[in-house]
């Protein structure tokens, strides 16, 4: 007997998490899969390019929700999933991360009485002012299988009384890094193409609404980067580019030491992280990928759910604070080498094995 897994994804980080899980499912004869893309990320480089580069199966459905407000996004996904669930009759729904698509998929599965697995469950920032925190709480409140990337995540769930079907699988993003070593090595050509010297540039990302919606915060981050006295490679998220233009901050990135670009592929991103002096980021993905590659990172968000990366000295929280960013940049040193707090690169295989065992006993 085979079981149908229905994945719900909506953005670039979801696709990164989906890729190794999808590959593991392809190698499991008891499972088949259907991918639903909500269209939360609709920019070609933020979505279609990643699907092609990572060799993912084409989504069977695209809900095309676009960049509307959170309630409209969630409502649209809920409505459209009803017909898809009825047509596909999945045995399990898998959601990823902490976006509006994640929360909507979780609610839809629960209301349809379909078992739900949450990849990257248990992470908490304990601040309901953060939209992603609400999505985490909503999703984990109805999850049946908790696939947790860190020991801290397991502890968080235990505090909430969730101990059944909680699995510390490690982070699926690490699986993809391990599986892509050859492609990442080839992508090192991006350094020479942009006159970057290994260990002598900063890789920067900035996309969180908390930073891009505020001129003061975005300006502080960009001004701090200018005072680091290193070459900056900055692939600009569409939301961030719009904010930079709106706030008239283009003069801060139109400088000789800045290399700006459209969003880039996964392999190129990993090559840049791996070879950077440090990363300057508000991305949870880049935070943990810096940890994977043993590259220090300064986090321009006010906190992170990836606590192990902080405790082991690889990542440092500065927030959108110019003086703190500069202070940390002046004292960057490597953290504790050799730790594997985010797993061993086998998370996706563990997840598939757990799913098969769970469905076989239902």
118 is known as an active-site residue: no
Q: How far is CA 243 from the centre of its chain?
A: 21
Strand partners, 298: 280, 316
327 Cβ partners below 8 Å, 6+ apart?
318
Which of 7, 207, 237, 293 is catalytic? The answer is 207
Structure tokens that stand for 43 in this block? 């920019």
DSSP letters for 26-40: HT-TTEEEEEEE--S
Q: Cα dist. 64→47, 80, 266 in Å?
A: 12, 10, 23
Neighbour tally for 141: CB within 10 Å: 13
**Spatial contact of 319 and 296, defined as CB atoms under 8 Å apart:** no
Please tell me the distance from the alpha carbon of residue 8 to that of residue 74, in angstroms, as a whole number. Answer: 12
Q: Which residues are catalytic?
A: 207
């Amino acid at each position: 007997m085979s079981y149908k897994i229905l994945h719900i994804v909506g953005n670039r980080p979801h696709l990164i998490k989906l890729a190794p899980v999808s590959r593991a499912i392809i190698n499991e004869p008891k499972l088949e899969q259907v991918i639903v893309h909500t269209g939360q990320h609709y920019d070609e480089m933020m979505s279609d390019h990643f699907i092609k580069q990572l060799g993912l199966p084409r989504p069977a459905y695209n809900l095309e929700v676009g960049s509307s407000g959170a309630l409209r996004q969630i409502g649209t996904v809920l409505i459209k999933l009803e017909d898809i669930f009825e047509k596909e009759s999945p045995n399990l729904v898998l959601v990823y991360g902490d976006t509006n698509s994640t929360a909507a998929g979780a609610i839809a599965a629960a209301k349809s009485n379909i078992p739900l697995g949450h990849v990257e469950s248990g992470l908490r920032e304990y601040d309901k002012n953060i939209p992603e925190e609400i999505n985490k709480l909503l999703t984990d409140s109805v999850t049946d299988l908790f696939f947790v990337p860190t020991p801290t995540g397991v502890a968080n769930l235990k505090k909430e009384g969730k101990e059944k079907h909680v699995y510390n699988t490690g982070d699926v993003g690490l699986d993809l890094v391990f599986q892509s070593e050859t492609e990442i090595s080839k992508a090192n050509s991006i350094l020479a193409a942009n006159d970057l010297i290994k260990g002598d540039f900063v890789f920067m990302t900035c996309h969180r609404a908390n930073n891009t919606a505020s001129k003061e915060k975005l300006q502080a981050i960009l001004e701090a980067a200018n005072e680091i006295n290193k070459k900056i490679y900055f692939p600009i998220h569409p939301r961030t580019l719009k904010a930079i233009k709106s706030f008239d901050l283009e003069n801060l990135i139109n400088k000789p030491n800045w290399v700006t670009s459209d969003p880039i592929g996964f392999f190129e991103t990993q090559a840049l992280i791996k070879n950077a002096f440090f990363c300057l980021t508000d991305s949870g993905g880049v935070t943990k990928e810096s940890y994977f590659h043993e590259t220090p990172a300064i986090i321009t968000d006010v906190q992170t759910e990836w606590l192990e990366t902080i405790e082991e000295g690889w990542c440092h929280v500065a927030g959108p604070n110019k003086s703190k960013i500069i202070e940390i940049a002046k004292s960057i040193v490597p953290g504790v080498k050799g730790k594997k707090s985010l797993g061993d690169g086998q998370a996706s295989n563990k997840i598939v094995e757990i799913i098969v065992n769970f469905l076989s006993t239902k």
